[in-house]
Amino acid sequence: MSIEVRIPTILRTFTGGEKAVEAKGDTLAGLIDDLDSRHAGIKGRLLTDEGKLHRFVNVYVNDEDVRFLGSLETPLKDGDSVTVLPAVAGGAGESMLAGG
């Protein structure tokens, strides 16, 4: 079982500059653990200390934002594709939406 994970520029320091890497997992949480075993430290950029998906990143499974799927429990199967992007937000006041 192999899943392609597309990595944004800002996280390619963890993947030796690679735009896309392979990882395994039955769920997104499992995939992130596997990813971290191959690219140490990347988990800390994706998950909070409490183990939740960080509001500063968007993760998509087959182009669907996992916040609208099952978040870290989103099931994965062979051939799925996962894309990680930095969330982009800001503004004059407190940003309420991102990371929802």
Partner 1 sequence: MSVAATPDVLSLPREMVEQALVHARRDHPDECCGVISARDGVATRLVEMDNAERSPTGFTFDSAQWLQVYRELDDADEEPFVVYHSHTATEAYPSRTDIRWSETAGFPYWLIVSTRAEQDEVRAFTIDGAIVTEVAVHLT
Can you give the binding site for partner 1, defined by CB under 8 A?
8-10, 13, 19, 45, 56-58, 60, 63, 65, 67, 83, 85-98
Residue position matching structure tokens 């500063």: 56
Taking the complex as a whole, the smallest distance from the CB of residue 66 to partner 1 amounts, in Å, to 10
Q: CA of 52: how far to CAs of 16, 32, 83, 90, 93, in Å?
A: 25, 12, 17, 21, 24
Nearer to partner 1, 72 or 98 (CB): 98
Q: How far is the CB of 25 from partner 1 (least distance, A)?
A: 20
